[in-house]
Amino acid sequence: MSPALLGLVTIAIGVSGCLGYFYLSNLFLDKVLFPPVGPNAGRNINRANMIRPWLFLGPAILALGLYLGYPVIETLRLSLTDRTQDEAFVGLANYSQMFAEPKFWEAMRNNMLWLIVVPAASTAFGLLAAQLTDRIKWGNIAKSLIFMPMAISFVGASVIFKLVYDARPAGNEQIGILNAVWLQFEGGIGSFLILKLMPAVLLLSFAAIVTYVAYLLLRPLLESAGTVLIKALRVFGAAIGLWFAYTALSNAVTVFVTELEYGAPQTWLTLPFYNNFFLMVVLIWIQTGFAMVILSAALRGIPEETIEAAILDGANPFQIFFKIKVPQIMPTIVVVWTTITLVVLKVFDIVFAMTNGQWETQVLANYMYDKLFRANDWGVGSASAIIIMLLVSPILIWNVVQARKELR
């Protein structure tokens, strides 16, 4: 049977099967098991109403349990066993083997980079786009065009950006736009301004921002408020912030002193360290639209009185944006940030299609795929999947807590 026909038959069977199941099981409950007639009518109605939710929920619970619940436990079990030894329990051997691999740490380091850069950049661009497009007449068209990459697959986007990054040997016509632009720089004053001064300034301002955040985190400690846990978290957050500031500063210096190879076409995807950023651009390009749409809805939800009051008090547009609007949509920004974080943790297709983890671009999801399906090492593969799960779990717990709060 041809697959298309098979698909149609499956749709028919699946849909009618589902409907049939729900219809018949309800019919059975009402007509046969607990009919609401006779001497026990009242009790039967109550009984039927106790069972009915589970009829409605049955298939969903089964599917969720089998396809999401069971795998979590099974993966945990697999990560503690060795497939070659007939699935014998080996304790944490897989984990220690994995921790000894440089490729794993490379993947971890890259994933951390992705986790910082992609959500931050997407949210920032999204916020910028949302704010700008809300103020103009053709804003909706502009929005739809920036939003469009959301519909493009990661693989399609990878092809799109491979063309952007394409490199030909020196002397040939460059067909990748990035190299064509790169070759316009010859090391004159323009090159200095754009390629040295601008990145350095950007890095310095980033360093300034994180230092300020670290300061904000540390300041309440002087007034000795909060529990020990909160204090510890504040110190921890501040330490991370200062580390970023330090990294940004040292990179700013590096950018300034590095000799750039003007006039030579670059194979961008093989430049160690920097190629990570070229891959991240793809995801930022896709996720910005998402951030923009959500944040734009949030911006529209801001009560107008607050903005009118600010204008009457003489606030300029920048003050209105940063001091009135942004604080009010902070919860939404957090949600956007975490949603993109989840996407980043699972990013696989982009790395798989563009570099397949070569040239120091490995990430956890691709590392796991390598282990599972190339090396056939289910133990280490499962262990790395558990690492991804661990990274996700703070968000998971936070979401569940929020949901329960809302339902109460």
Partner 1 sequence: MDNIAGRKSALSWAVNISVVLLVALWLFPTVGLLVSSFRTADQISASGWWKSLFSAEQVVQLRTGGAEAAMQEGDLWVVEGNLLEEAEDGPAPGITITRFGVSSKAVDAFAVGDTATFSKDEKTFTMDAAGTYRFTSTEKLRKRGQRVFITATLPPDFTLENYDQVLFSGNSNDSMAKAFFNTLTVTIPATIIPILIAAFAAYALAWMEFPGRVLLIATVVGLLVVPLQLALIPLLKLHLNIGIGKGYLGVWLAHTGFGLPLAIYLLRNYMAGLPKDIIENAKVDGATDFQIFTKIILPLSFPALASFAILQFLWTWNDLLVAKVFLIDATGNTTVMTNQIVELLGTRGGNWEILATAAFVSIVAPLCVFFAMQRYLVRGLLAGSVK
Stretch that binds partner 1, among 108-116, 140-148, 222-230, 267-275 (CB under 8 A): 140-148
Stretch that binds partner 1, among 218-226, 234-242, 249-257, 391-399 (CB under 8 A): 391-399
Please tell me whether residue 45 binds partner 1 under the rule CB under 8 A.
no
Give min distance, CB of 141 to partner 1, in A.
8
Q: What angle do CA 380, 77, 84 make, to 5 degrees?
A: 55
Nearest partner of 131 among 298, 279, 251, 284, judged by Cα: 298
The whole-angstrom separation of Cα 273 and Cα 291 is 26
DSSP per residue, 291-337: HHHHHHHHHHTS-HHHHHHHHHTT--HHHIIIIIIHHHTHHHHHHHH
Look at residue 83 and give its three-state secondary structure. coil
Cβ proximity of 336 and 290 under 8 Å: yes
Please tell me whether residue 121 binds partner 1 under the rule CB under 8 A.
no
Nearest partner of 131 among 258, 320, 278, judged by Cα: 320
Tokens standing for residue 63 = 């599917």
Stretch that binds partner 1, among 103-111, 188-196, 203-211, 396-404 (CB under 8 A): 396-404
Please tell me whether residue 305 binds partner 1 under the rule CB under 8 A.
no
Which of 107, 108, 127, 129 touches partner 1 (CB under 8 A)?
129
Give min distance, CB of 114 to partner 1, in A.
14
Size of the site for partner 1 (CB under 8 A): 120
Of 244-283, which residues contact partner 1 (CB under 8 A)?
Answer: none
Please tell me whether residue 71 binds partner 1 under the rule CB under 8 A.
yes
Which of 33, 41, 88, 150 touches partner 1 (CB under 8 A)?
150
Of 280-299, which residues contact partner 1 (CB under 8 A)?
Answer: 285, 288-290, 293-294, 297-298
The whole-angstrom separation of Cα 345 and Cα 165 is 24
Token look-up 């316009």 returns 184
Of 369-388, which residues contact partner 1 (CB under 8 A)?
Answer: 369, 372-373, 378, 381-382, 385-386, 388
